[in-house]
Structure 1
Amino acid sequence: MTVSLLPALEIATGPEPTHAVIWMHGLGADGHDFEPVVDELDPDRLPPTRFVFPHAPQRPVTINGGYVMRAWYDIVSMDFSERREDPAGVLESAAQIEALIARENARGIPDNRIVLAGFSQGGAIALHTALRHPQRLAGILAMSTYLPLADTLAAEASPANRDVPIFMAHGRGDTVIPHDFGKRSGDFLAAGGYPLEWRSYPMEHSLCLEEIRDIEDWLAGVLVA
C-alpha cells in the first residue's frame, strides 16, 4: 500500500543538508508551530540540517466533541489511567512518518543521520515510530509527551534502535499531559534499557528557553554520524 506524503514546511540550516530532523507538532497545531525554534538554534553547532515540519491530517477528535482538527490520532478519553490513543490513528501516522524518512533517504540522508522529534501528540508519534523503525536512527526528541501503545513495544521494538539516544522533556506544571504521566513513560523506557536523557522544567505545556538550549546541546551530540 502506497502512503501519500504529508505536506510539510522545510527549513535548511545550510546548503546541501547532510542530516534531517522530522519534527511533529501537537494536537490542533500545524507544521508552522515550531518553525521559530530553528532560529533559536546555533547553526554553527550543527551540521547542515534539514528541519521537516509535517502537517498532521485533519480528523475528528473525540475529547473535543468530535471537532475536526489536525491530529496525529484520535484521543478517545481524558482518563490517564486507561488507553487514550486510537491505535489505528497511531499506526496510520507512523506509516506517514516512515514515508518522510524514506524521502530523506532518497535525498541522500541515511537513517543514522535522521532525528524524529515531536511535541505532545507529535512526540508520541516520534517515540512510537522511531522505536519500531527497522534501521538505526540518530535519535528521538520527545517533548511534553508520553509513550503510546506501550504494551505492544516489547513485541514490536526494533533491535536496530535499542540503543538510540532519547531526549524527553516535560514541564512540571503541565496540565494537559501531567508531568508524572510523562515521567512514567520515561521510567518505562529507562527500565527497558533505552539510553534516556530526562529533563523537567518550570513550565506548563510548552517549551522554554532553557529547554531549547538543552535541545541544541543534545542535537549537537547526536547529529554527528
Structure 2
Amino acid sequence: MALDGPRLPAQSGTTKSLVIFLHGYGANGDDLIAIGNEWASVLPDTAFVSPHAQDEMPLHPGGREWFDLSVRSDENRWQGVNTAGPGLDAFITSEMERHGLPASKVGLVGFSQGTMMSLHVGLRRAESLAGIVGYSGTIAGGEHLKAEIKTKPPVFLAHGTADQVIPVDALVHTVEVLAESGVPRSWHVAHGMAHGIDRTGLAKGAQFLKQCFG
C-alpha cells in the first residue's frame, strides 16, 4: 500500500520546496503536520506532507509504526529501516513528481523512529536531498553507513538531555557516524527536555531548512 497522509499547501500559493514529516512510533501523520503551520512564515513557498507509516499497531487504535519495536535492539532497528526503507524511498520520488520538484528542494524531518527512517533513506538516495532534520532520534546500523552512503545532504539534529526513550548519547553517536562519512552536521541540545521537541529546536529546524532550500 502506498504511503499517504495529511498535507498543507505552500502559504504563498507557489510550491518551490517540500518538507516530508516522518512521525514516531505509535503516532501517525497527524502528529507532526501542524509544525508546517508554524514554519509557514519562515518557509512560505514550502508545501508539507506527513505520511502515515505503513503498519498499523495492534492494540493501539490509530497508532502506526515504520517497523516493529517490541524488541528493542540495534539489530532490530537495522532490519526495520531496511524493511520499511523502500516504501519511504518510493514515496519521496512520487512526491517529487507530484510537485515537479528536484531532490535539492525536498527536506526530510523525522521524530524518534521517523529520524531513523529519515537518516537511513535520505543518505542512500542517488540524488541529494536538500537536508535532513532529526528530532529525538538516532541512526540505525551506523556501522553500515560508510559502505552504503550515496549522497551527503546536511543534517540537523536536536535532542533533550532528559530523554529516557532514546538517551541523548544517541545524538553523540549519530554525529560521530555522520562525521566518519563526511556528512555536514549541526545539532541542538535541549537541557532538561524529555522525549520531544522544544521551541528552540523547532525554530532552528525551520531556519536550517530555509538555508538548505536556498
Q: If the length of structure 1 is used for normalisation, what is the TM-score?
A: 0.86
What is the deviation of 1:109?
0.9
- What is residue 72 of structure 1 aligned with on the other side? 66
Q: Cα RMSD over matched residues?
A: 1.9
Task: Give the alignment of 1:15-94 within 5 angstroms.
Answer: 15-43=13-41, 45-59=42-56, 69-78=63-72, 82-85=74-77, 87=79, 89-94=80-85
Q: Which amino acid aligns with 1:101?
A: I
Counterpart of 1:36, as a letter, is A
CA distance in 2, matches of 1:109, 1:147: 27
- In the TM superposition, what is the alpha-carbon distance from 1:210 to its structure 2 partner? 1.1
- 109, 117, 121: which one pairs with 2:109? 117
* Structure 1 residue 190: Cα displacement: 1.7
Q: Distance in 1 between matches of 2:157 and 2:95?
A: 24
Aligned residues: 209
CA distance in 2, matches of 1:42, 1:133: 27
Query: Which residue, out of 87, 93, 114, partners 1:102?
Result: 93
Superposed, which structure 2 residues align to 1:177-192 within 5 Å?
A: 177-192=166-181
Between the aligned partners of 2:176 and 2:10, the Cα distance in structure 1 is 34
The whole-number CA distance in structure 2 between the counterparts of 1:57 and 1:19 is 24
SS at match of 1:200: strand
Report the identity percentage: 31
User: Matches of 1:209 and 1:151 in 2, distance apart?
Assistant: 32
Deviation at 1:41, TM superposition (A): 1.9
Q: Distance in 2 between matches of 1:47 and 1:92?
A: 34
Q: CA deviation at 1:13?
A: 2.6
Deviates more, 1:12-21 or 1:119-128: 12-21
The code of the aligned residue for 1:48 comes to D
- TM-score (structure 2 length as normaliser): 0.90
Q: 2:214 matched to 1:220?
A: no
Aligned partners of 2:138 and 2:203: how far apart in 1?
22
Q: Is the 8 A contact 1:18 1:47 kept in 2?
A: no
Once the two structures are superposed, residues 17-63 of structure 1 have per-residue CA deviations (whole angstroms, 9 ceiling, x without a partner) of: 111111100000001111221222252x3251111100012256xxx
Q: What stretches of structure 2 of length at least 5 have no aligned partner?
A: none
For residues 138 and 97 of structure 1, what CA distance do their matches in structure 2 show?
Answer: 16
The aligned counterpart of 1:63 is none
Superposed CA offset, 1:168-208 (max 9, x none): 11111100000012321112212322111011002110011
> Which of 125, 140, 143 is the matching residue for 1:133?
125
Q: 1:186 to 1:210 in 2, by over 3 A?
A: same
**Aligned to 1:151, what secondary structure does the other structure show?**
helix
Q: CA deviation at 1:105?
A: 2.4
